[in-house]
């Protein structure tokens, strides 16, 4: 009845194609897995998670979770994860603020400010983040003076040994103090953390500035003119008329930037900060559990990405709903 040969039949062909591709992938995966099991068992490294409970034997600095060398690897990885989260949260807020300011500066009536914003974005976006992190750590933060010569601002001291901030301690407000040649303050951050944060904020901030600029530029000019004719001045127009509309374009762009920020935080090891990746590397070195450690890493970063995506999708719905 039907003269079409089966190899040109549009009902058969797609399924055949899928079957072939699927089979090829299956065979490849099976081959790789067989190799993995054979090689791992030859090395006596078959998957096991018992090492998570063994004492780590190494110390960590600057952890939110109290940690010492006799605690298990599992807790060390958790402490690393918390440090990663801390970097991400602070850098996320900082880069958003910086990006918003720079993005809006692109619309300033002041030519110099506009130019500076442009130069900042063009320079920072085109230089690799890793190079910038090394620059901030080795050239800027490690060149800070220490002790009495440290940079002192009200409530803040910047020294080679760390960043010292005023805060509440023992029920009273305390500023940084110099005791026996070393600074003490209620809030202390290491320069490693400072360099990582500075690098991430300036780098991601430049990308966010572009997102914000694009968002504002997407609002039709008539909106500005209409607001102007109603007697609103520049800042009020931006705040009440333009930004709410621009946000619809900005939020999806921000999601991408936040996710790339989360992944970029894994470069912490370049400036000596103890994040999840750095702890994982040490753990691998001590235990030899390469496959398990990588699985932990992949799962952790995937979870962080999903968390950011979910939160930003929620925000996106909130911003989009406003339309009639």
Interaction residues for another protein, span 165-184 (CB under 8 A): none
Q: Does 138 bind another protein (CB under 8 A)?
A: yes
Q: Does 104 bind another protein (CB under 8 A)?
A: yes
Widest CA span of the chain, in angstroms? 98
Q: Does 21 bind another protein (CB under 8 A)?
A: yes
Shortest distance, position 171 Cβ to another protein, whole Å: 25
- Which residue, 138 or 167, has its beta carbon nearer to another protein? 138
Closest CA to 292 of 36, 29, 5, 32: 36
- Residue 234: phi and psi, rounded to 5, are -50, -55
Contacts of 124 (CB under 8 A, 6+ apart): 132, 202, 203, 205, 206
Q: Pseudo-torsion of CA 240, 241, 244, 248, nearest 10°?
A: -170
Q: Does 27 bind another protein (CB under 8 A)?
A: no
Q: Does 185 bind another protein (CB under 8 A)?
A: no
Can you tell me which of 61, 177, 313, 320 binds another protein, judged by CB under 8 A? Answer: 61
Shortest distance, position 32 Cβ to another protein, whole Å: 5
Euclidean distance between CA atoms 74 and 279, whole angstroms: 10
- Which residue, 17 or 318, has its beta carbon nearer to another protein? 17
Choices 90-98, 102-110, 245-253, 314-322 (CB under 8 A): range interacting with another protein: 102-110
Choices 75-83, 133-141, 150-158, 168-176 (CB under 8 A): range interacting with another protein: 133-141
Q: Does 143 bind another protein (CB under 8 A)?
A: yes
Give the DSSP letter string of 237-281.
IIIIIIHHHHHHHHHHHHHHHHHHHHHHGGGGGGGT---HHHHHH
Provide the mask over 191-220, with x wherever binding to another protein is found by CB under 8 A and - wherever it is not.
xx----------------------------
Question: What's the chain's Rg over C-alpha atoms?
Answer: 26
Can you tell me which of 4, 6, 12, 14 binds another protein, judged by CB under 8 A? Answer: 14
Q: Considering only residues 71 through 100, tell me which ones interact with another protein, judged by CB under 8 A.
A: none
- Which residue, 38 or 173, has its beta carbon nearer to another protein? 38
Q: Does 45 bind another protein (CB under 8 A)?
A: yes
Secondary structure of residue 144 in the 3-state scheme: coil
Q: Does 9 bind another protein (CB under 8 A)?
A: no
Q: Does 245 bind another protein (CB under 8 A)?
A: no
- Residue 164: phi and psi, rounded to 5, are -120, 125
Give the DSSP letter string of 66-105.
---TTSBHHHHHHHHHHHHHHHHHHHHHHHHHHHHHHHHH
Choices 149-157, 164-172, 284-292, 311-319 (CB under 8 A): range interacting with another protein: 284-292
**Token pair in block for residue 142:** 């490690």
Size of the site for another protein (CB under 8 A): 92
Across-strand partners of 156?
153, 165
């Amino acid at each position: 009845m039907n003269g079409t040969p089966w190899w040109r039949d549009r009902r058969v062909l797609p399924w055949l194609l899928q079957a072939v591709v699927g089979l090829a992938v299956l065979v490849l995966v099976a081959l790789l897995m067989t190799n993995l099991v054979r090689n791992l068992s030859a090395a006596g490294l078959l998957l096991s998670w018992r090492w998570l409970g063994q004492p780590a034997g190494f110390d960590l600095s600057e952890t939110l979770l109290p940690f010492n060398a006799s605690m298990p690897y599992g807790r060390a990885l958790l402490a690393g994860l918390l440090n990663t989260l801390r970097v991400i949260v602070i850098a996320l807020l900082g880069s958003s603020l910086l990006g918003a300011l720079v993005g809006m500066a692109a619309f300033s009536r002041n030519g110099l400010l506009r130019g500076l914003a442009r130069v900042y974005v063009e320079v920072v976006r085109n230089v690799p983040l890793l190079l910038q992190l090394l620059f901030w750590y080795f050239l800027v933060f490690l060149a800070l003076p220490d002790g009495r010569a440290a940079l002192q601002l009200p409530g803040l001291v910047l020294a080679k040994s760390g960043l010292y901030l005023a805060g509440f301690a023992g029920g009273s407000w305390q500023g940084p103090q110099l005791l026996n040649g070393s600074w003490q303050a209620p809030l202390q951050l290491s320069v490693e953390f400072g360099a990582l944060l500075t690098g991430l904020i300036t780098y991601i901030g430049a990308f966010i500035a572009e997102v914000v600029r694009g968002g504002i530029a997407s609002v039709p000019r008539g909106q500005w003119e209409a607001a102007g004719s109603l007697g609103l001045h520049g800042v009020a127009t931006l705040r009440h008329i333009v930004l709410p509309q621009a946000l619809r374009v900005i939020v999806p762009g921000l999601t991408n930037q936040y996710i790339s920020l989360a992944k970029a935080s894994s470069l912490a090891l370049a400036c000596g900060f103890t994040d999840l990746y750095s702890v994982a590397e040490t753990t691998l070195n001590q235990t030899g559990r390469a496959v398990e450690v990588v699985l932990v890493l992949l799962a952790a970063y995937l979870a962080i990405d999903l968390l950011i995506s979910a939160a930003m999708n929620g925000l996106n719905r909130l911003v989009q709903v406003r339309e009639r």
